[in-house]
Amino acid sequence: MATQSYSFFDIFEKGQINEIVIPLIQRDYAQGREEQSVNVVRKRFLNSLYSAITETPICLDFIYGDINDKGVLTPLDGQQRLTTLFLLHYYVAKKENVPEEKCAFLRRFSYETRYSARCFCAKLVDFTPDFDKENISAQVINQPWFPLSWKKDPTIGSMLVMLDAIHERFKNVSDIWKKLSDGVISFYFLPIKDMGLTDELYIKMNSRGKPLTMFEHFKAELERELKKIDPDLASRIILKTDKDWTDFLWKYCKNKETEIVDDKFMSYFRFVCDIISYLNGKSVRLENVDDFDLIETYFSAKDKDETLKNIKLLESFFDCWINIEGFDSPSDFLASFMGSAHADNKIVVGDKTDILEDCLSSYGNKKGKIRSFPLNRIILLYAIVYYLQHQDEISRKDFIRRIRIINNLIQNSTDELSERSERNRIPAILKQTQYLMKNGDFDDIADNGFNFNQLTEEKEKMLLLQKQPEVQEDLYKLEDHGLLKGQVSIIGLENLQYADRFISLFSCDKDKIDCALSTCGFYAQEERRGRYQFASTNDSAWNSLFHKSANKGFDRTKSVLHDLLSKSETFSNAKLDDLIADFLKNCENQKRFPWEYYYIRYSEFRPQKYGKMSNENAEENPYLFLVLWTKQLWSQNAYIPYLKIVDAENLSKEFFGQRLIYSDAHVVCKNDAYLLRKNDAQETLIEELKIKQDENGIDCENRVDKLRDFLHNQGLI
């Protein structure tokens, strides 16, 4: 019997097959297993069958088998498809009341993997479900001929799941039997003559029944779609997938026992598909499609022109990493311009300097999972790939400069790197990246892309380096500092001579830096009415201060910082201690205690966690800052620092640390006094303890000492 196309109907007649028997050596029926990967395959296969019945006929490719002298077909490859076709034809025959003589061939399909499976197939053909009920499997299990032990048979269990899935997909479709009879679902059968079914043959043909991986299913579907457009194109892509791209990706499988090339391929494939989506102005996170849906979305034969464009892009995204001129590997290429600390001709990207390896290991975009390859690295990797694709147009020198600019923009566009439905900036950012990589300047027409402040600064840097190339090293040193991350506006392009001083200063203890900075003036920035950002030992607080935002007071912070930097060419903890000590001594000698004195003198004033404080009216009440221990809101751990310093034990959490409570009275603060009040309903004033202040509202006595002495004299502490 030569290779030709058959339907499940005519394989028995035209193919002269008396019976189809799944042999003992075959694995159990698997398309009905309750596993995530199998669920995907089952859903897609049934969708393909549904489309064949309702829209366009389908061919299920080759099925291989051996036919003995009694006309018994033993499948070597195709068991899963044949079993699903058997179940589909059984379902339709019963649902549409097909006469027995027309569906008798169903009795000629059998399983030999276990007695239970063989008996189940025979019993099932005689059973007619109630199709008004949703669950066919439950009806089968409730039959008297169904022993409970059969529920443990994996083949039977899978068949029951598949029957329910078929019912769910086809219950509202009519006249299916006629379409099946017309051959809308077909396959090629390849007989293997003059060879007995042996273990050796089976091992060669089907790897001892090892199931196809999801990746193999994926490749088969991709090839099938591309073949519809161009068979040569399909062959080229699959050949590259199996050879060139696999060889390239294999080097990234460090643990050969636990890491497989398939996963690396799919991670990078998802990355490419996401780039395609972004370039088309769409959001990826909102789509949440699976890997097979990506084929349908970007590589379907339904849209030939788009698919050809996307395939060209896919090829170039893979091919560009192979044989990079001047480098032995992609890792060597990336290491030549990426690092974890400042170095000549390198950008700072953190510890994961091999961004491609990071992508291959962690990129994902699946339902219920958070993508561990973030948007900032997507943009950076895209910029690198774009350069590799256009090396004939972009010099290495230009690339090094442009990738630095892009890295600066990425690091300072945290809020803009968003794909929220109401504000998806990623498409615009990718186009800005592409324009900058190609042309070396900015597209002023582009809107809603990178952070505006950073774009402005990068334009100013371009002009500066054109006029004064000798300042490049000082500029790059500042850009690469961990607290600046590409934005140097807190120093200013006009003050790049302070680069070494800044680096020296921030090699010191950060709490000492905070205190030394406060000796030069009030540097905090107002985030919103009443909430202020100060420094702390936490780098995030300094980052907030040093990067332009909607906060008020950036220029004030800059001025105070410049004042400190002007005091010395180099800094050390000892130098800072001297500055702090001199300031405190002068205040005490002059009996002049500005708010900064208390901030420096008492550690309780300095919010060590997030650097947040609150003062609803700082201009009129400069002494009434409340220390916060959260990023935004008041909590029970908030406190007025004078009160906590003097008597932390009686500080009230109920009143957010704004009063000291004793048995009969409590103490609260005013800007120029303490109030001792009764704990009655009217909070009757017992005594007002005034704090001496000069004509400018500056304390002339230490209010902490005054409160401590007062409470001691009252016998409260």
Note the pLDDT of residue 5: 78
CB 415 within 8 A of CB 446: no
Residue 608: Cβ-neighbour burial (10 angstroms; 0-12, 13-18, 19+): middle
Of the candidates 345, 417, 342, 330, which has an alpha carbon nearest to the alpha carbon of residue 380?
417
Alpha helices in 25-127 (DSSP H): 36-54, 79-95, 100-103, 115-125
Residue type present at position 560: V
- Give how far the C-alpha of residue 610 lies from the chain's centroid of Cα atoms, to the nearest Å: 25
Mean pLDDT by 10 residues, the chain (717 residues): 72 79 71 72 87 89 80 82 92 94 91 81 93 89 89 87 93 93 86 49 43 72 91 92 90 74 91 93 67 88 94 97 94 96 94 93 60 88 98 96 98 86 84 95 79 94 96 96 97 96 97 98 92 93 94 97 97 98 98 98 89 93 92 80 96 92 95 96 94 96 96 92
The vertex-712 CA angle with 706 and 716, nearest 5°, equals 120
Beta bridge partners, 528, equal: 531
- Give how far the C-alpha of residue 579 lies from the chain's centroid of Cα atoms, to the nearest Å: 46
Question: Tokens 């990246």, residue?
Answer: 433
Question: Tokens 């293997």, residue?
Answer: 192
Quick check: helix, strand or coil at residue 709? helix
Note the pLDDT of residue 154: 86
Question: Tokens 């273990």, residue?
Answer: 199
Quick check: helix, strand or coil at residue 700? coil
Note the pLDDT of residue 201: 43
In whole angstroms, give the CA distance from residue 286 to residue 95: 39
Quick check: helix, strand or coil at residue 612? strand
At 188, give phi and psi (nearest 5°): -95, 135
Note the pLDDT of residue 80: 84
Residue 271: its H or E element: helix 261-279
Q: Assign residue 288 a region (left: φ > 0; alpha: ψ between -120 and 50; beta: otherwise).
A: left
